[in-house]
Structure 1
Amino acid sequence: MRKTQLVLGTMVLAGLAGIDPARADYDYPWCIQGAAYDYPGDCSYQTREQCLLSVSGRKGYCAQNPAFLITRPPFQPIPRGRHLPPA
C-alpha cells in the first residue's frame, strides 16, 4: 500500500512540475481602468462590449489599451461624398 501511495505521489508531483503558469502577455484593445487597477489596467477584452459587461457593478471604466493603440497604424478616415476615388 505504501509503495502504491509513493508511486502515485511521485506521478502527481511530476505532473505538476511540468505545468507552466498561466501567461498574461496578451495585448487586447480594451482595458478596465480605475483606482483598483494598475496602469494600463486589466486589458483582457477584445471588444468594448466585453469590457463594459465585465466592469458593470465594479469601480472602474473601459478605455482603449494605450499599448495596443501604439502598435496599430493610425486611423485613416474614409472620404465621403463626391471625392471618392474610382473603384
Structure 2
Amino acid sequence: MRLSILALALLASLATLTFSSHVQAAPNDRYCLQGRRWGIPGNCQFATRRQCLAAASGTNASCGLNPRYAFSRRR
C-alpha cells in the first residue's frame, strides 16, 4: 500500500511538471487555426502563418496569433 501511494505521488508530480512546462508557447506554435470546428484559440501547432494558411485553405477556418505566444513574458 505504501508503494502505491508513492507511485501515485510520483505520477502526480510528473503530470504537474508536464502541464506547467507548456504554459508558454513554444516557437513552433505561434499561429492557431481557428474556426467553428477548432474554436478559440484553436489548433495551435503552426510555426509560421503560411503553414497555418495552407492548412486553412479550402475550409471555413482562419489563422490567428496564439494568445500564449502573444501575451507571454519576454525573458
**Bin for the TM-score computed over the shorter chain:** 0.5 to 0.7
Relative to its length, the structure with more helix (as a share) is 2
Query: Unaligned regions of 5+ residues in structure 2, if any?
Result: 1-21
RMSD between aligned alpha carbons?
Answer: 1.8
Q: With the length of structure 2 as denominator, give the TM-score of the two structures.
A: 0.57
Aligned residues: 49
Q: Deviations over 1:56-86 (max 9, x none)?
A: 011210110111111154xxxxxxxxxxxxx
Which of these two proteins has the greater Rg computed from alpha carbons? Answer: 1
* Other-structure match for 2:55: 54
Identity of aligned residues (%): 35
Q: Partners of 1:58 and 1:38 in 2: how far apart?
A: 14
Query: Unaligned regions of 5+ residues in structure 1, if any?
Result: 1-24, 74-87
Q: Deviations over 1:22-57 (max 9, x none)?
A: xxx583110011111132100000000000111101
Bigger relative contact order, structure 1 or 2 (CA pairs below 8 A, ≥6 apart): 2
Relative to its length, the structure with more strand (as a share) is 2
Runs of 4+ that moved beyond 4 A: none
